[in-house]
Amino acid sequence: MLDLLYAGASLSFNLHALTLTTLGILGGLIIGVLPGLGPLMGIVLLLPLAFHLPPIPAMGMLIAIYIGGSAGGSISAILLRVPGTPLAAATLFDGFPMAQKGRAQDAVGLAMTSSAVGGLVGGLVLVFLSPLLAKFALRFAPPEYFAMAVLGVLTIALVSEGSALKGLLAGGLGLFLSMIGTDEFTNAYRFTLDSFRLSSGPHLVAVVVGLFALSEVFFQIQTGNLLARPNVQRLKVTFSALKILARHKVNLFRSSMIGTFFGAIPGAGGDVSAFISYATAKKLARAEEKYGEGAEGGVVATEAANNACCGGALIPTLSLGIPGDASTAVLMGALILLGFFPGPDLFRDHPDVAGGIFIAYLMGNAILLLLGTLLAPVFGSVLIVRKAWLLPAVLLLSTLGTYALQSSVFDLWVMLAFGLIGYIMRRAGYPLAPLIIGMILGSTMESNLRRSLLLSQDGLMIFVERPISALILLIDLVLLVAIVYSTVRSSRPSGAGKEVAALP
């Protein structure tokens, strides 16, 4: 594998490539920060630029947008409680409380550094373990995806501890949203009320932006203090985030591995990995770390996972020719456009290109580490702006980011509707995150259940005949029993008063 890197080195280490990668990271960060636009839209919108560049710098730039876009969403989540992308929906659990406690710069710095380090871990796995993981990914078929989706849905109970029932209802709403649209098996229109605008369901991003950004704008206006000049800690460039990160070595490594794993399985996705990694970190944490109230570990867990996922997702893309997620599908399209076909051929016929992409990915993360640290105070300074300026800006950016997805005004109405739904849910103490988890995993769960049954020659047996699926389902079962047990115990009279305000 090192010879690959060597072959690609001359293509990647030149001023042109370096500049484009840096610009890509910067552009990606900004696109990630803007509510609505994420790495996928960033790549799609800037792809035409890449047509006119030489292959390696072009891929370097697109991959850099992918990396920056995956990290950037955390910044708005931390500072404004508005996740810039669904990937960062779990980052605000602890990132926002951290900022509220006056540690905005620490939180942003930590998010950037854990993203970069997580990305680098994912990158090392990509470089050295690609063939192994790619082989493993091939053993993931519909039954395994179904079992995995159930596991993801069960984490709802973990992230909404203290109000498990409300979490389940919110998750149910998410599952329902995922059912709206054209059923992919019968092509029947389901729950669309005969409107073609709903024929692919409400757009996930419009829902996320509405739930979090719009409801937050509403809350902030209600709370008042719109003209007060916020008191923010002095912001300066420091490398203290790296020191903090060093205290979370185990968490960092585990989360990076979770992220890489989920990336390597096509179709699992970074947002899911962030939630699962967060839930795991929270379960394994000591009580005094106080997850949900500004724990550093929470930011590390989500950000390391969702950026490691980028490296993971490149594994099947490059070594199997099967994209790991929607963003890598577009990256793959770009690579083909530039004249190179991913898959084993790429490594054999164009080792310089394969190596160049590896280097571009590693370099992108290194640049993210540097840029993220340098820019943390700049982003943090957003908090100095008075709310009377800031809130209209958030509203307009949310509107533009959501509109840009499909050039659709209808999506803006969806966004507004979910702003109101999010507001009601928050006032009634419902957690919002389960809704997102349900919506992301709903179609994975349903379609893979039905696909498994079609594939199976003997009904439900397919789930237990396959070792990996059986193992995951066993874990699901244990988790379910544990959750039911703890819910029943906590809803006894003595436990009732203990129900605390849910996570956002």
Partner 1 sequence: MPGVRQHAVRTTEVAVFRRDKYGFEWAAWVMFAAIPAFIFWQAATSLEEQGAASGGPLENAALYPLVIASLMILVVIVQFVRILFRRTNPPQEEQQLDTPRALAVTVLFMLYLIGLPSIGFHILTPLLCAIMMRSLGLSWMRAVFGALVLWLVCSFVFEGLLNVVLPVGMFNLALFS
Partner 2 sequence: MKRLFVLATAVWLASSSVHAEFPERNIENIYPWGPGATMSASQIIADAMGQELGVNVSVVSTPGAAGTKAFLTALDKPADGYTIIDGYVAPLVLQPMLGKADWTYNDFTPLWAATSNSFAIAVRKDDDRFADFRALIAHAKDNPGKLRYSPGVTDALPHMVAAKVMQTSDVVAQVVPYPEIDNAVKDLRGGILDFVVINPGVYTTNKDELRVLAVLSDLEDASKTYGGAPLVGSFDVDLGMTGLAPMGWNWWLIHKDTPADVAAKLQDSMGKAVARDEVKQKLLDMGYVPLGYGPDKYKEVVAPVAADLKSGIDAIAWEKDKLKSTK
Per-residue mark of binding to partner 1, 478-497 (x: CB under 8 A): -------------x----xx
Pick the closer one to partner 1 by CB: 261 or 430.
430
Query: Which residues have CB under 8 Å from 358's CB, separation 6+?
Result: 4, 5, 8, 123, 126, 127
Under the binding rule (CB under 8 A), the answer on residue 453 touching partner 1 is yes
Under the binding rule (CB under 8 A), the answer on residue 216 touching partner 1 is no
What tokens appear for 153 in the block? 């849905």
- What CA–CA distance (Å, rounded) separates 272 from 262? 8
Pick the closer one to partner 2 by CB: 316 or 377.
316
Least distance to partner 2 from the beta carbon of 84, Å? 19
- Stated length of the chain: 504
Q: CB under 8 A: which stretch of 132-140, 240-248, 259-267, 394-402 binds partner 1? A: 394-402
Tell me the residue ranges of DSSP E strands in 161-309. 181-182, 189-190
Per-residue mark of binding to partner 1, 154-183 (x: CB under 8 A): ---------x-xx-xx--xx-xx--x---x
What pairs with residue 182 in β-bridges? 189
Q: Cβ-count burial of 481 within 10 angstroms (0-12 exposed, 13-18 middle, 19+ buried)?
A: exposed
Under the binding rule (CB under 8 A), the answer on residue 345 touching partner 2 is yes
Least distance to partner 2 from the beta carbon of 289, Å? 39
Least distance to partner 2 from the beta carbon of 197, Å? 8
Q: Which of 1, 9, 420, 475 binds partner 1 (CB under 8 A)?
A: 420
- What CA–CA distance (Å, rounded) separates 71 from 50? 21
Nearest to 203 by CA among 434, 408, 419, 46: 408
What pairs with residue 190 in β-bridges? 181
Q: Which of 5, 23, 129, 218 binds partner 1 (CB under 8 A)?
A: 218
Under the binding rule (CB under 8 A), the answer on residue 180 touching partner 2 is no
How many residues form the binding site for partner 1 (CB under 8 A)? Answer: 69
Q: Pick from partner 1, partner 2, none: which does 457 bind, CB < 5 to 8 A by kind?
A: partner 2
Q: Which long-range contacts (CB under 8 A, 24 or more apart) does 251-255 make?
A: 251/281, 251/297, 251/300, 251/301, 251/304, 252/114, 252/117, 252/118, 252/121, 252/300, 252/304, 253/121, 254/280, 254/281, 255/114, 255/118, 255/280, 255/281, 255/300, 255/301, 255/302, 255/304, 255/305, 255/308
Phi, psi (deg, nearest 5) at residue 281: -60, -40
Least distance to partner 2 from the beta carbon of 375, Å? 28
Pick the closer one to partner 1 by CB: 407 or 457.
407
Pick the closer one to partner 2 by CB: 48 or 497.
48
User: Which residues form the interface with partner 2 (CB under 8 A)?
Assistant: 40, 44-45, 47-48, 51, 137-142, 181-182, 184-187, 189, 196-197, 199-201, 266-267, 316, 320-323, 326, 329-330, 332-334, 336-337, 339, 341-345, 406-408, 447, 451, 454-455, 457
